[in-house]
């Protein structure tokens, strides 16, 4: 299907999942929504609203969150035009995308980090990880390109920021203002119109898809985007709680330890996988499994790192001797 992930998925995995594409189908997002429901308590009292502001050529004229409808379109005035427009696109057998806005309020200042866990970077990754999302802008976003510094800077008064061009995040850290971002959703790839493509034998074919398709994916994307934002904020809130040391109890410390243990286990699994690959490489190149020089070098490097980190050399050596022995076993 042109526009879908089938081509690149097939190039990577050499299979085509007939169930709508498998992992490249929007179906995978159900787990994200379920996960967010589990952690939603953690982010209280933060409130997240996600709503469309443009679908195809139709733009919202005035946002009204009290106007409820099946498309979650927040504008009574343009709603009839939108319905007529989508009907026409559907009759044509075509699809459209649009722009979705997210507003996060009652968020404290101080969530996020200046380099590796920037709040805007984490939100961007989470939202763009949803199939068919192609871009994101925070605050004034791309409009900032034409603004002057004097116009773009949010002046600060005794009672807080006077404007919010930044979208509530500065230096990767929440300012405490409303966080606002918009993201663009491309038109649904599956359409009923004839399209040119190839089959798995690289033969040119004409594709005419049948069945039920979403004219626009946006109504389905809204709860997923809210779920992804909830997950990112839950991480940021939990992390901030840990580093600030405020209101921590034994349960919080144990939870943090459990998370670190899980990370260690995942790293061990990855280490073993690489050892297996090294074993296969050694076998096909007739190299011995034992390489005492390399082992020596590894243990010496670990000693140096242990010293830098203030860890006990003897403990580190003990752990790695075990790991090396496990690796040799599978090689």
Q: Name the helix (H) or strand (E) containing 121.
A: helix 119-128
Q: Minimal distance in Å, beta carbon 59 to ligand FMN?
A: 22
103 vs 179: CA distance, rounded Å:
6
Q: Which of 122, 190, 230, 331 binds ligand FMN (CB under 6 A)?
A: 190
Q: Minimal distance in Å, beta carbon 97 to ligand FMN?
A: 10
Rounded alpha-carbon distances, angstroms, from residue 29 to 45, 221, 276? 25, 9, 32
92 vs 90: CA distance, rounded Å:
5
β-bridge mates for residue 104, sequence order:
48, 179
Q: Is residue 122 within 8 Å of 236, Cβ to Cβ?
A: yes
- Which residue's C-beta sits nearest to ligand FMN? 26
Give the angle subtended at the CA of 152 by the CAs of 149 and 156, to the nearest 5°: 100
Q: Which is nearer to ligand FMN, 124 or 217 (CB)?
A: 217
| Residues 196-255 interacting with ligand FMN (rule: CB under 6 A) | 213-214, 217, 220-221, 224
Q: Minimal distance in Å, beta carbon 258 to ligand FMN?
A: 31
Alpha carbon 41 to its chain centroid, in Å, reads 20
Q: Minimal distance in Å, beta carbon 136 to ligand FMN?
A: 13
Q: Which of 7, 17, 24, 93 binds ligand FMN (CB under 6 A)?
A: 24
Does residue 29 belong to the site contacting ligand FMN (CB under 6 A)? Answer: yes
Q: Minimal distance in Å, beta carbon 131 to ligand FMN?
A: 3
Does residue 188 belong to the site contacting ligand FMN (CB under 6 A)? Answer: yes
Helix (H/G/I), strand (E/B), else coil: 103: strand
Q: Which of 58, 111, 130, 236 binds ligand FMN (CB under 6 A)?
A: 130
Q: Minimal distance in Å, beta carbon 96 to ligand FMN?
A: 13
Q: Minimal distance in Å, beta carbon 201 to ligand FMN?
A: 23
Q: Which is nearer to ligand FMN, 112 or 189 (CB)?
A: 189
Q: Which is nearer to ligand FMN, 29 or 174 (CB)?
A: 29
Does residue 131 belong to the site contacting ligand FMN (CB under 6 A)? Answer: yes
Does residue 122 belong to the site contacting ligand FMN (CB under 6 A)? Answer: no
Q: Is residue 242 within 8 Å of 252, Cβ to Cβ?
A: yes
Cis peptide before 45 (omega within 30 of 0): yes
Q: Minimal distance in Å, beta carbon 292 to ligand FMN?
A: 48
Q: Which of 7, 17, 22, 25 binds ligand FMN (CB under 6 A)?
A: 25
Binding window for ligand FMN (CB under 6 A); candidates: 25-33, 108-116, 169-177, 239-247: 25-33
Q: Is residue 137 within 8 Å of 220, Cβ to Cβ?
A: no
Q: Render 22-51 in DSSP notation, one character per residue.
A: GGGSGGGGHHHHHHHHHHGGGGTT-EEEEE
Rounded alpha-carbon distances, angstroms, from residue 66 to 73, 83, 104, 143, 180? 10, 18, 17, 29, 19
Question: How big is the site for ligand FMN, counted in residues (CB under 6 A)?
Answer: 19
Burial class (CB in 10 A: 0-12, 13-18, 19+), 25: middle
| Interface residue list for ligand FMN (CB under 6 A) | 4-5, 24-26, 29, 130-132, 186, 188-190, 213-214, 217, 220-221, 224
């Amino acid at each position: 299907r042109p526009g879908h992930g089938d081509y690149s998925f097939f190039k990577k995995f050499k299979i085509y999942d007939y169930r709508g594409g498998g992992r490249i189908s929007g179906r995978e997002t159900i787990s994200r929504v379920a996960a967010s429901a589990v952690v939603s308590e953690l982010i209280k009292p933060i409130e997240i609203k996600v709503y469309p502001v443009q679908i195809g050529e139709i733009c919202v004229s005035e946002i009204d969150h009290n106007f409820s409808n099946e498309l979650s379109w927040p504008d009574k005035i343009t709603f009839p035009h939108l319905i007529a427009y989508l009907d026409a696109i559907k009759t044509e057998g075509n699809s459209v995308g649009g722009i979705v806005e997210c507003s996060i309020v009652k968020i404290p200042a101080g969530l996020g980090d200046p380099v590796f866990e920037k709040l805007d970077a984490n939100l961007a990754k989470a939202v763009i990880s949803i199939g068919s999302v192609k871009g994101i802008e925070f605050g004034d976003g791309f409009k900032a390109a034409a603004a002057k510094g004097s116009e773009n800077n949010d002046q600060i008064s005794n009672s807080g920021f006077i404007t919010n061009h930044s979208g509530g995040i500065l230096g990767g850290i929440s300012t405490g203002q409303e966080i606002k971002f918009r993201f663009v959703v491309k038109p649904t790839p599956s359409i009923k119109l004839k399209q040119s493509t190839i089959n798995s034998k690289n033969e040119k074919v004409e594709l005419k898809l049948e069945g039920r398709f979403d004219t626009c994916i946006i109504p389905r994307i809204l709860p997923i985007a809210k779920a992804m934002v909830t997950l990112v904020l839950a991480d940021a809130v939990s992390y901030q709680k840990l580093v600030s040391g405020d209101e921590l109890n034994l349960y919080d410390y144990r939870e943090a330890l459990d998370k670190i243990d899980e990370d260690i286990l995942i790293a061990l699994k990855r280490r073993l996988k690489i050892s297996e690959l090294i074993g296969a490489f050694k076998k096909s190149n007739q190299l011995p499994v034992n390489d005492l020089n390399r082992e020596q070098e590894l243990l010496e490097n670990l000693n140096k790192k242990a010293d830098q980190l203030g860890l006990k050399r003897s403990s580190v050596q003990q752990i790695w001797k075990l790991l090396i022995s496990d690796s040799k076993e599978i090689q």
